[in-house]
Chains A and B, each alone.
Chain A
Amino acid sequence: MLINKPNDIRPSEITDKTVYKQRRRFLQGAGALLGVTATGGLMALGTPPRDLQGNKIFKDLPRGIASIDGPLTDYEDATTYNNFYELGVGKSGPAENAALFKTDPWSVTVAGECEKPGTLTLEDFLKPHALEERIYRLRCVETWSMVIPWVGFSLGDALKRFQPTRDAKFVIFETLFDPDRLVMQNFDLLDWPYQEGLRIDEAMHPLTTLAIGMYGEVLPKQNGAPLRLVVPWKYGFKSIKSIVSIKFSKARPKTTWSDLQPEEYGFYANVNPDVSHPRWSQKRERPLGEWFKKDTLLFNGYAEQVAGLYKGMDLKKHY
């Protein structure tokens, strides 16, 4: 006869379901980050990474704020047509050179005008945050656009943990500088490392996203693994990739493209069909994979959420 021992786990020890789910999601994410590092070199381009059962890595995530319904850009288009000068200057270069870019281990340093600065491993940096699926339009200043289902959370939630002081007026981000892994940093193309910045209220806006995945998968390297910014109402170059440093600052920072060609790329870089760019009319855009263009929307269609941030500002002057 089988003698069952009484269940000696007290009810209070059973993890609350939501906490459990969050932990699970985090573990899935962490596992996925490791898994991709191990198999990254073998993956064929254009094929999303899957776990051993062939399932998506991030499943059943809640929808994030202001998510749209698509249609989504093809995964292959979104992962083989990229601007990431650190890995290649053409559109296909970043995907081709991605294998050299090892993203594990990874850490993020938070510094500047805040009470709790520090350097955290990526795992620790991500730990407290519940992931969401955030389906946003992405509009490049070069007049092409995508719709991408990001996996991430609000940047503001992460920033609050470091307790920015009243002097924190801006947030500055930096991409990794390591010419061995980001091969184009061996060339004098841009003023490395890539640097971007947001006003603190832009950074704290719930639409402003830190992403670690897309299409239910871990971020491919050419798309800015392991941690990138997504600011859906601004031109794509604001959404800095492969972030290692976040700094709170009193003064408005230099930002890479704006510094290189200030008359072409502004600090704000809000999507605006009425502000013409010296190279491209911004009135219309071409969704990737399509032959025909469509009209570009003010703030990339997020005016309802973000127009208030710029009340009283001349958007033609502060482009």
Chain B
Amino acid sequence: MFVLLLMPALALLVMDLGANPVETITHHTGDWALRILLLTLAITPLRKLTGWREWVRLRRMFGLYSFFYVLLHLLTYLVLDRELRIGGVWEDIIERPYITIGFTAFLMLIPLAVTSTDGMVRRLGRNWARLHMLVYPATLCAVLHFLWLVKADLREPLAYMGLFALLMLLRAPIPLWRKSR
């Protein structure tokens, strides 16, 4: 699984980047960051449905991989798109809602990545779980980031929104899910 999740990053080295390579890399890393983030959110429902507890061991790796793609996505934007001009980045964050919300998602994911070690989990105790609830608003922001940047064809971001809604619904306190726990 570790190798599998690395494949999209390695693919960048061999794939045809087309006429606008920076855009291709930006979209590719952004797509995978969001996909893996949603996979991370799918772990808990999968555990409940299958009753297999080992799923949880994968969750941290999924989450960290998502953060890895978020970092690649952000670096591509900062270095290749904004050419490290801080003024331009600041203008984007202030004036462009899809950047504002994308950056918000990134900020929310930082503490989650930082507190992902075993030591941190132990040290934070019950607060760890509370802190990691941040993943829900972060994912919502990530989906909105995609939704707001699309010009006219909303089908793909809406599909992600639907998936996110489904994953949240599966967390609702419905007796059916409770029983199988």
Indicate if the CB atoms of B19 and A91 lie closer than 8 Å.
yes
Q: For the complex, give the distance between the alpha carbons of A288 and B20 in Å.
A: 6
11 extra interface residue pairs, beta carbon distance < 8 Å, beyond A85-B152, A89-B153, A293-B83 = A78-B19, A80-B19, A81-B19, A89-B152, A91-B20, A190-B152, A278-B95, A279-B151, A286-B20, A289-B19, A291-B22
Given the known interface contacts A81-B20, A291-B22, the answer about A281 and B92 at a Cβ–Cβ threshold of 8 Å is yes
Interface size on B (CB < 8 Å)? Answer: 18
A interface residue count range (under 10 / 10 to 19 / 20 to 34 / 35 or more): 20 to 34
Encoded as 1 (CB less than 8 Å from any A CB) or 0, chain B from 79 to 104 comes to 01001000010011001101000000
B58 at the binding interface (Cβ < 8 Å): no
Is there an interface contact between B96 and A291, defined as CB atoms closer than 8 Å? no
Can you report 13 A-B residue pairs in the complex whose CB atoms are below 8 A from each other?
A78-B19, A81-B19, A91-B18, A260-B152, A276-B91, A279-B98, A281-B91, A283-B88, A284-B83, A286-B22, A288-B20, A289-B20, A291-B21
Identify B96's interface contact among A80, A279, A292, A293, CB under 8 A. A279
Q: Is B96's CB under 8 angstroms from A278's CB?
A: yes
Neighbouring B residues of A76 by C-beta, 8 Å: 19
Q: How far is the CA of A281 from the CA of B95 in the complex (A)?
A: 10
Assess whether B120 is interfacial by the CB under 8 Å rule: no
Query: Bound state CA distance, A24 and B19, in angstroms?
Result: 35
Q: Which residue of B lies closest to A190 (CB)?
A: B152
Interface string of A291-312 (1 = CB under 8 A from B): 1110000000000000000000
Shortest Cβ distance from B21 into chain A, in angstroms?
7
Residues of A within 8 A of B153 (CB): 85, 89, 189
User: Which of B80, B96, B149, B153 has the most chain A CB atoms inside 10 A of its CB?
Assistant: B153
Give the distance to chain A from B124, nearest Cβ to Cβ, in Å. Answer: 39
| Complex Cα–Cα for A292 and B82 (A) | 10
Contacts of A144 in B (CB 8 A): 20, 23
Provide the bound-state CA to CA distance between A77 and B20, in Å.
8
| Chain B residues numbered 122-149 whose CB sits less than 8 Å from any CB in chain A | 149
